[in-house]
Amino acid sequence: MSVLVMKFGGTSVATLDRIRRAAKRVGREVANGHRVIVIVSAMSGKTNELVGYVNETSPLYDAREYDAVVSSGENVTAGLMALTLQEMDIPARSWQGWQVPVRTTSAHGAARIEEIPDDNIRRKFDEGMKVAVVAGFQGVSPEGRITTLGRGGSDTTAVAFAAAFDAVRCDIYTDVDGVYTTDPRISEKARKLDRIAFEEMLELASLGAKVLQTRSVELAMRYKVKLRVLSSFGEQDDAAGTLVCDEEDIMESKPVSGVAFSRDEAQMTLISVADRPGIAAAIFGPLSDAGVNVDMIVQNISEEGRTDMTFSLPTDQVARAEKALLDARAAGGLDFRDLVSNMDVAKVSVVGIGMRSQSGVASRMFRVLSDEGINIKVITTSEIKISVLIDRKYMELAVQALHDAFELEKAS
């Protein structure tokens, strides 16, 4: 009998009424003959509440106890969902991460799934259980401690279960009805995509689109898990939502599939750095050690024997980056004249697998931004992506102009 994985996000299980609505969707899939594994998030707002309790109790908290507290929200939802299904006469049982077990690394707060043995749940299916309701976001370390996977980790849990159980599909239910060409709140012309390639979704997720967690898309691409994003609140049919799939499953690709953006970007420039072999390692080594995620990098020759190094990073990591670089200079491992940070920037990107076979995307993008009077500070590219750093005040204008220029409101 086939296994189907269904994941419900926080807004989809925010109240008992919404849990009942989600349970009815599960019941329909059981009636269709599937064995169902339901992955649930904590009820909307609960994880933030629990994190607040931890920070108020112990600002310099023990990460192991942090995980013990913040993982409890998913346990509550799993139990309530199982009880609701039982009230519908559907044999269901809740499972916490350690009971499956979802085996992870010991990196508390950011653990990675290493293995999901399927024998416990399959045995219960064979004994008559129809639905396994699993608490998302959590697992168990080799030391036997509860771990969490990082914010949005329930998406990763769902895809990992789909891979472990060779599921026919993994359905991600959320508060949007699919993946759009851009955020509909920015452009009223944004269009829902019927299909999107794994690589495109991975780029969009990493560039700021918050529909799916990046690691969940990586897993789905690696294990060829059919992934569908759809709304908990709309009508459900076979054509609902957006299917995230292999590039080969998409007949024809426009050069650009979507426009992504990120407001939470900062620009940092080291002015007049000694231009010598190993200077990049001297800069980015300390940043890596400090846990700073550097993205776009540009190097410019400023004067003889000196260079300027500019890069982008998340706004909440600026203070950490500044300290790491100033400490490196004080220790004598890095020579630069000044350090300048700009918090008023945003990243805007165009993404599409069609860029591989169609030229002219970069020139059109740059021309559109020029026509709107938008200056580009930093550029970075990949095979299917072009990203630019611009002044944050022009972000929405840039997104709308690019969406129009590439005619993303049209299906083909």
Binding site listing: 7-10, 47, 74, 174-175, 180, 185, 210-211
Distance (Å, rounded) from C-alpha 119 to C-alpha 197? 32
The closest of 367, 245, 266, 254 to 321, measured between CA atoms, is 266
Instruction: Verify cis geometry, omega within 30 degrees of 0, for the bond prior to 101.
Output: yes
Known binding positions for ATP: 7-10, 174-175, 180, 185, 210-211
Which CA distances in Å does 117 have to 123, 160, 182, 393?
A: 11, 11, 38, 50
- Cα 239 to its chain centre, rounded Å, is 24
Give φ, ψ of 116 to 5 degrees. Answer: -130, 95
Distance (Å, rounded) from C-alpha 212 to C-alpha 199? 13
Query: 66 near 109, Cβ under 8 Å?
Result: yes
- Cα 291 to its chain centre, rounded Å, is 18
- Cα 147 to its chain centre, rounded Å, is 19
Known binding positions for substrate: 47, 74
Q: State the angle between helix axes of 46-57 and 63-70 in degrees (0 to 180), rounded to the nearest 10.
A: 150
